[in-house]
Amino acid sequence: MRSRFYVAHTLLIISAVVLMMSLGSCTGRTKKGKGSDTIALAPAPKFVADSAMSYIIAQCNFGPRVPGSAAHKACGDWIISKFQEFGAEVREQRTELRGYDGELMPCRNISASMNADLTDRILFTAHWDSRAWADNDRVAANHHKPVMAANDGASGVAVMLEIARLLMTKGLACGVDFVCFDLEDQGTPQWAEDETIDVELSDEGDYWCLGSRYWAETAYATGYTARYAINLDMVGGRGARFEMEGFSVHYATPLVNMVWHLADQLGYGEFFIQHKSGYVTDDHVPLNQLARIPAIDIVPHHSNGRSNFGPTWHTINDTPEAIDPAVLKAVGQTLLQLIYNDN
Ligand SMILES: [Zn+2]
């Protein structure tokens, strides 16, 4: 994933009244509480950060999940087995898609559905592939090594798995889908950009989010839709702060407001900053533009350092040691509350 033209920050004023009116729910249980800016909270289970952490470690134990590798295949099989264990109906979407160098890469998108027969659905997504090159590492000798992707890959899948585990025994009023996208993170390496002036290789975002683009086109063509979608990318890094990402605000303002407001109410306001940040090319963009599903991205914004996505982004240091369970908890608990308020 890649950041686009970071724009001047604009403080958003949150109006709880507007977001209640704008965001539908199955049962209408999301409503004004005592104060005009208070959301009534349905009883929700506790998101277990240690459990999510164990799912990150399990993915990393396969090695970097670079598309086409043995680790990629084994981890994909494991993700499927976990979702099935949690009672979801799993489907795979396989194809081959062309990377920045013109070579075909295998693509394996994994969908897990709970209450698959219901038409009213909500969608959670994350990419599960590991970037093949740690091209943002401080050490040039590491630029061709793969990324372990504990945060940039495994964390989003882990949060979805933990939510699925907790939903397993719940009678849901909505269908819930979890989609693990492949080929999000194989965009043109920085060293290829540096080494060529060929416009074919100049990166306009063309080679990022390949799996989600393919999935979104197919979803639209086959009539799949969801009330909304939430993409999770790098949701476990130490020091993560989630600002309101530009495309998310553009396409799905009421959902952004609802999620950030819920997080604040649950006591996670230090992680979810009610502040608009720049635009990020990520898997929520095809969901909005191709699948026509209002979709937001929960993605960190770091103000300092070598990357806006945090110190381990596309480095060999994106390992489980750099994950903070408190960040996983803030994200997972907020999303669970959103689901339970709607069911
Ligand atoms: Zn990445």
Give the model confidence (pLDDT) of 279-305 as tens digits: 999 999 999 999 999 999 999 998 877
Ligand 1 centroid distance, CA of 293 (Å): 23
Ligand 1 centroid distance, CA of 58 (Å): 19
Please give the Cα distance from 318 to 215 (Å, whole number).
27
Ligand 1 centroid distance, CA of 80 (Å): 22
Ligand 1 centroid distance, CA of 134 (Å): 9
- pLDDT tens, position by position, 158-181: 999 999 999 987 778 899 999 999
For residue 198, the model assigns a pLDDT of: 52
Strand partners, 266: none
Question: Average pLDDT in the 270-276 region?
Answer: 97
Question: Average pLDDT in the 331-338 region?
Answer: 98
Question: Average pLDDT in the 86-114 region?
Answer: 97
- pLDDT tens, position by position, 3-59: 653 332 222 333 333 333 334 444 334 444 334 478 899 999 999 999 999 999 999
For residue 328, the model assigns a pLDDT of: 98
Ligand 1 centroid distance, CA of 131 (Å): 6
Ligand 1 centroid distance, CA of 185 (Å): 5
Q: Phi then psi for 297, rounded to 5 degrees? A: -120, 125
Ligand 1 centroid distance, CA of 225 (Å): 26
- pLDDT tens, position by position, 106-153: 999 999 999 999 999 999 999 999 999 999 999 999 999 999 999 999
- Count Cβ atoms below 10 Å from residue 278 Cβ, excluding itself: 17
Ligand 1 centroid distance, CA of 313 (Å): 7
Ligand 1 centroid distance, CA of 282 (Å): 9
Both structure tokens of 324: 């903070």
Higher pLDDT, residue 277 or 195: 277
For residue 334, the model assigns a pLDDT of: 98
Ligand 1 centroid distance, CA of 233 (Å): 8
Ligand 1 centroid distance, CA of 209 (Å): 10
Ligand 1 centroid distance, CA of 130 (Å): 8
Q: With b meaning 16 or more CB within 10 Å and e meaning fewer, what string describes 181-200?
A: bbbbbbbbbeebbeeeeeee
Ligand 1 centroid distance, CA of 158 (Å): 16
Strand partners, 122: 176
**Cα dihedral 184, 221, 342, 259 sign:** positive
Domains and CATH numbers, the chain: 2-341 (3.40.630.10)
Task: Kindly list the protein residues that place their beta carbon closer than 5 angstroms to ligand 1, a single-atom ion.
Answer: 1, 152, 185
Question: Do you know the residue count of the chain?
Answer: 343
Ligand 1 centroid distance, CA of 1 (Å): 5
Do the beta carbons of residue 122 and residue 70 sit within 8 Å?
no
Q: With b meaning 16 or more CB within 10 Å and e meaning fewer, what string describes 311-343?
A: bbbbbbbbbbebbbbebbbbbbbbbbbbbbbbb
Strand partners, 274: none
Ligand 1 centroid distance, CA of 299 (Å): 11
**pTM of the model as a whole:** 0.90
For residue 171, the model assigns a pLDDT of: 78
For residue 25, the model assigns a pLDDT of: 44
Ligand 1 centroid distance, CA of 46 (Å): 29
Question: Average pLDDT in the 78-99 region?
Answer: 97
Average pLDDT over the chain, rounded to an integer: 88
Ligand 1 centroid distance, CA of 220 (Å): 25
